[in-house]
Amino acid sequence: MKILVCISNVPDTTSKINFTEGDTKFDTNGVQFVINPNDEFGLTRAMWFKEKQGATVHIATVGEASVEPTMRKALAIGADEAIRVNAVPADGFFVAEQLAHIIKDGAYDLVIAGRESIDYNGGMVPGILASLLGMNFVNSCINLEVDGNTATAVREIDGGKETLQTTLPLIIGGQKGLVEESDLKIPNMRGIMMARKKTLTVVEPIEATKATNDAKFDKPAAKGAVKLVDSVDELVNLLHNEAKVI
């Protein structure tokens, strides 16, 4: 089985976020970037297929050279090869078109993408990929088993879970539950050294139209002042007379 894991390079959630040029551009200065968590769950599941079923695992990312440390981490975790599309990931439509081109050329049996990235939370790429390629698709996937050409997937739905059976080739939008956080792999020294020797292919983007535009970014409103009280009676009085919630 040949697997492609789509990797997004996203800011660590602990990073302090700022914007420039009149709040129209994201300021990357001082920001630590990591593998998108939903993609990391997918990569870990792909490594399970590699260890248990002898699958070949490739990763693909749309981004400039600055994303390569993140890609090298994925290689250190155990991916066999990496492909970087040398372009700024303008929006979900653009990214999906670039990845679709790679998937067509690579003839992959299984494509694992994160349900959404934690930077823009668009949640578009896996579904657009499936539409562009005419492949079976399961979103919000929390478990996946493959037996020959048959895949059994469990996805999260409102109020519960749904089990589906389909055939390869297949695209999934994965999330936590595909593996547990305790299953995530931390690269060891041997993996880091081997990653330096693995193939990281850089390809130029195909022509694609950016379908959306970011007009302006706004930070969440600052938290209001906190008032400390010493007694239950004072708290009740404030809730009743000042906050007027009781």
Note the pLDDT of residue 51.
96
Note the pLDDT of residue 198.
95
Residue with the bigger pLDDT between 230 and 85: it is: 85
Note the pLDDT of residue 170.
98
Q: Mark 176-215 as b/e (b = at least 16 C-beta within 10 Å).
A: eebbeeeeeeebeeebeeebeebebeeeebeebeeeeeee
- Express each pLDDT in 123-179 by its tens digit: 999 999 999 999 999 999 999 999 999 999 999 999 999 999 999 999 999 999 999
Unique residue bearing structure tokens 């070949």? 56
- Give me the CATH code for the 2-219 domain, please: 3.40.50.620
Q: Look over the chain and give the mean of its residue pLDDT values, rounded to a whole number.
A: 94
Average pLDDT (50-79) is 97
Residue 52 in contact with residue 179, Cβ under 8 Å? no
Number of residues assigned to the chain: 246
Note the pLDDT of residue 244.
87
Question: Does residue 213 register a pLDDT over 90?
Answer: no
Question: Does residue 95 register a pLDDT over 90?
Answer: yes
- Express each pLDDT in 4-40 by its tens digit: 999 999 999 888 889 999 998 889 999 999 999 999 9
pLDDT band at 1 (very low <50, low <70, confident <90, very high): very high
- Which is nearest to 165 in space by CA: 189, 144, 179? 144
Note the pLDDT of residue 242.
87
Percent of the chain exceeding pLDDT 90 equals 77
Question: Does residue 224 register a pLDDT over 90?
Answer: no
pLDDT band at 227 (very low <50, low <70, confident <90, very high): confident
Note the pLDDT of residue 168.
97
Unique residue bearing structure tokens 């990931």? 89
Residue with the bigger pLDDT between 58 and 224: it is: 58
Task: Please report, for the chain, the start and end positions of each structural domain, with discontinuous segments joined by +.
Answer: 2-219
Query: C-alpha 230: how far from its chain's center?
Result: 46
pLDDT band at 214 (very low <50, low <70, confident <90, very high): confident
Give all strands (DSSP E) within 124-206, no chain letters.
136-147, 150-157, 160-167, 170-174, 199-203
